[in-house]
Structures are given as C-alpha cells and as structure tokens.
Amino acid sequence: MVLRLKVRRGQEDGRSYFQSYEVPYEEGMTLLSALQKIKEEIDPSLTFRHFCRAGICGTCTVMVNGFPKLACKEQVLSYVLFGEELVVEPLRNFKVIRDLAVDNQAVINKIKELRLWLKEASTDPRIPPEVSKRIESSADCILCSACQSYCPQVLEREYAGPLFFAKLYRFYLDPREEDKSLRAFQTVKEGQLYHCLSCNKCNLVCPKEVEPATLIRELMQLMDVGS
C-alpha cells in the first residue's frame, strides 16, 4: 500500500509549487512519519518542523487537504485505503520560511506585546476547583496556531486572533493574576476582540478542543464588550 502526497514547496520570496511523492505505507504511519520518510529516503531538501511527536509541542501543524492539523497526530491509513491524495501545505496566515516551515515570530511578539503570561502576584498559589475547571481548556492550548491559520479575520483586519484571546481567558479568571481587569481590558482593546465573527471555525480545527470561539464569547460577556 502506498501513500500519495502532494506537498507545497516554497521559499521566503513567496514562489511555490507542488511536488508529488509516494511513500510505502507502514502500520501506524502518521503524516509526520511519512514526511520523515520522504526526508530520509527520497528528498532530503524537504523542510518541515516537529519536536515532541506526541501532540504536545504544537510545532508540526500544517494544512492537510485545506484543514490545519498536527502532522504527528494525523493517521494516514484512511487516505491510503481510499486512494486519496494528501495535499500538504504550510499554515495559512503565516509567512513561509521554506516549504512547510512558517515564521511564528509574529505570534511570539504578540504574546509579549499583550503580556500573556501569569504574573503570579498572589501569595496563595491555590486555585478554587470551580475556577480550575473553567480555565482547564484554555490552559490546554499548545500554541499550535491551527486556530490562527483558519480564522477568516486574521490578516483581514487588525484582529489579533483566537489564540491570544483563548490564552487571555485563563489569565482573566485565574485568581493568582495581579491587576487582571486592567490588563485584560488593555489586551481586548489592543487585540480588537470585537472583530471576532463568532463563526466557530477555530473551535472546529483546534486539536486540543480548547474551543477558542466559545471562550471568546464568554470573555465578551464577562467584560461586557460590544454592549
């Protein structure tokens, strides 16, 4: 059995083309292991990112037949069985460095700009169980950028994107966060939260079921945005 892939190869200057590959299927093969096989045995110039191979680090996200997916979690058996070609492309809404590797510096810069981390000013490190439950999904975000790449408002407007507000939700509710309301309001203002269309596309593609759009709607209610 053979897996057929069509991979978009590209350079920083924006030029790109598709290259087709055929990889012999091996039991349990994921898209990431297929890409590694190509790199090791067929074409060493193919460039892509990965690290943990376990759906934890969020670095291997690519577009698969138009949807953002974690390559290390994407099983390829059904594509092989149905003879479907896998079209693999770099994440949308990001600048391509080479082939499937994109530049995520803008995400890092935005996290710094919006100060999306816990300042932990409180001397009591405990979180009440009911709060812990509410922030659980937000805390599960692995920064894989699947939501950012599938959001129709990112790049179209000044909207920061679902990733940042899913993160903010956690810090807004976390009792250990110092000065949270002031910081949260500033983040909402700078990130232009009201540009969210509530289309739920980010919910659909998040591999960790963080449901950013649901958290954004809650955040809007909590902070009375748009009323």
| Core vs surface per residue 82-100: b (16+ CB within 10 A) or e | eeeebebbbbbbbebbbbb
What's the rounded Cα separation, in Å, for the pair 204 and 149? 12
What's the rounded Cα separation, in Å, for the pair 198 and 194? 10
Site for ligand FES (CB under 6 A): which residue of 70, 143, 146, 193?
A: 70
Provide the token pair at 147.
């939501």
Among the listed ranges 52-60, 83-91, 131-139, 184-192, the one in contact with ligand FES (CB under 6 A) is: 52-60
- In the complex with ligand FES, the residue whose CB is nearer, 56 or 121, is 56
- In the complex with ligand FES, the residue whose CB is nearer, 51 or 67, is 51
- In the complex with ligand FES, the residue whose CB is nearer, 143 or 188, is 143
Q: CB of 56: closest distance to ligand FES in angstroms?
A: 5
Q: CB of 6: closest distance to ligand FES in angstroms?
A: 21
Q: CB of 54: closest distance to ligand FES in angstroms?
A: 6
39 near ligand FES, rule: CB under 6 A = no
Site for ligand FES (CB under 6 A): which residue of 33, 59, 138, 148?
A: 59
In DSSP terms, 95 is beta-bridged to 103
What's the rounded Cα separation, in Å, for the pair 147 and 66? 13
Decide: 183 and 115 in contact? Cβ < 8 Å.
Answer: yes
Q: How far is CA 79 from CA 4, 100, 196, in A?
A: 8, 20, 34
In DSSP terms, 102 is beta-bridged to 96
Q: CB of 171: closest distance to ligand FES in angstroms?
A: 23
Q: How far is CA 32 from CA 52, 57, 60, 185, 218, in A?
A: 11, 14, 8, 40, 35
- In the complex with ligand FES, the residue whose CB is nearer, 59 or 145, is 59
Site for ligand FES (CB under 6 A): which residue of 55, 97, 110, 118?
A: 55
Among the listed ranges 45-53, 82-90, 164-172, 192-200, the one in contact with ligand FES (CB under 6 A) is: 45-53
53 near ligand FES, rule: CB under 6 A = yes
Among the listed ranges 49-57, 78-86, 92-100, 162-170, the one in contact with ligand FES (CB under 6 A) is: 49-57
119 near ligand FES, rule: CB under 6 A = no
Query: Shortest CA distance to 144 belongs to which of 167, 125, 122?
Result: 167
